[in-house]
Structure 1
Amino acid sequence: MSLCLPTYVVIDASSSMKPHEAVLNATLSRLHYNLATNPRVSEFARVSVVAFSTDVHVVIPMSDMEQVPTMPEVICGGRTEYGKTFERLRQCIEQDVSTLRAQHYSVLRPTIFFLTDGGPTDALWQNSFRALVDRSWPRHPHVIAYGFGDAQRTVLERVATKALFIADGSDTESALSGAISGLLNSLIASSKTGQMQIATDVKGFEYVQVAQEYVD
């Protein structure tokens, strides 16, 4: 059986990202190109791209990026709804892991790369998050968080279960590019070892070790 890492790239597309929309889409296109042209990574990491604001949009469902011709455009606007996002991710993971197993993959623990430039606008998001990372659910994912702009470190310390990166003052567009590069380097390293590896040296970010509660 081939190993497979279900990977979710979860991007904040709320109104605060609107001024950076063109750079966001260019950065996502670069991610797509790098994944699609690296056969080892695209075979190992099945990737889904999710954009969230007031609503949650699965921009690309779980895919071999070699088979995805282009990255659809993300439109920014709306609130920063964490709760709906975590609910939708749990649904996606449940479905995607079953699909990958049916395709005879040996499925590693799903990994979420969570990129945000702001704090949650919904008060009860932690209920949905607890359900997502509940260790009694066999498919609970790792969460690697990248915060920039007005993202709240204290909030992201509760979201990140595997690693946390906080922008060190770089502008939003540079930080966004750095986060995607860090994500890509993590997937490249993981594809070489066959297990989740985190690239901790990310340009423009401070690496923060997270609380040990969720770490395997």
Structure 2
Amino acid sequence: MSLCLPTYVVIDASSSMKPHEAVLNATLSRLHYNLATNPRVSEFARVSVIAFSTDVHVVIPMSDMEQVPNMPEVICGGRTDYGKTFDRLRECIEQDVSSLRAQHYSVLRPTVFFLTDGGPTDANWRKSFRELVDRNRPRYPHVIAYGFGGAERGVLQVVATKALFIADGTDTESALSGAISGLLNTLIASSQTGQMQIATDVKGFEYVQVAQEYVD
């Protein structure tokens, strides 16, 4: 059976990202192009793009990016609701892993790339997060977090279970581009080895060793 890495690109589309909306969409289009034109990666990584603010929108459901004609436009606005996002992710992972297994893939542990420029505006997000990454759930994901702009380092040190990247003061638009490049490089490296290989050298970001690293 073919190996498959369920990959979730989860991106902050709250009101603080509104000034950067055009760059966000251009950057996501670049990600789509690079994935769709790299057969090795598109065969290995099935990708879903999720935008979150006050509500959570599945921009692209779990797909082979070669089969996706273009990246839908993301509209920014609203609050930064982490809890709803983690709840929706848990639901998507359950459905997507079952679907991929039904297609006879050997499914690796899902990976979430979480990109945000701000802290959570909902008070009770930690409960939803604990449920998402509960080790008693067979399909819990790894989370790789990229924080820029007004992102809260202390919060992201909780959210990141596999790796954390904090922007080193570069502007939001450069940081967004750097984060997507780092994400893409991680998928390329992982597709070459058939297992998670995190690209730790990300332009404009400090790589932070995650405290709660576990044995897989």
The TM-score normalised by the length of structure 2 is 0.99
Asked if the contact 2:162/2:213 (under 8 Å) is kept, the reply is no
Residues matched between the structures, number: 216
| Cα distance between partner residues in 2 of 1:214 and 1:157 | 14
Asked if the contact 1:166/1:208 (under 8 Å) is kept, the reply is yes
Q: How many angstroms does 1:211 deviate by?
A: 1.1
Q: How many angstroms does 1:212 deviate by?
A: 2.6
| Cα distance between partner residues in 2 of 1:197 and 1:126 | 27
Paired position in structure 2 for 1:173:
173
Asked if the contact 2:167/2:204 (under 8 Å) is kept, the reply is yes
Residue identity over aligned pairs, in percent, reads 90
Paired position in structure 1 for 2:66:
66
Paired position in structure 2 for 1:125:
125
Q: How many angstroms does 1:92 deviate by?
A: 0.1
The residue identity in structure 2 corresponding to 1:54 is T
| Cα distance between partner residues in 2 of 1:197 and 1:136 | 24
SS in 2 for 1:50: strand
Deviations 1:126-184 (A, max 9, x none): 00000000000000000000000000000000000000000000000000000000000
Q: How do 1:36-185 residues align onto structure 2 when only pairs under 5 Å count?
A: 36-185=36-185
| Cα distance between partner residues in 2 of 1:132 and 1:165 | 20
Return closer, same or farther for 1:79/1:214 CA change in 2, 3 Å cut-off: farther
Paired position in structure 2 for 1:7:
7
| Cα distance between partner residues in 2 of 1:191 and 1:213 | 22
The TM-score normalised by the length of structure 1 is 0.99
Return closer, same or farther for 1:7/1:127 CA change in 2, 3 Å cut-off: same
SS in 2 for 1:212: coil
Q: Which segments of 5 or more consecutive residues in structure 2 lack a partner in the other structure?
A: none
Regions of 4+ moved over 4 Å: none
Asked if the contact 1:119/1:152 (under 8 Å) is kept, the reply is yes
The residue identity in structure 1 corresponding to 2:147 is G
| Cα distance between partner residues in 2 of 1:14 and 1:214 | 31
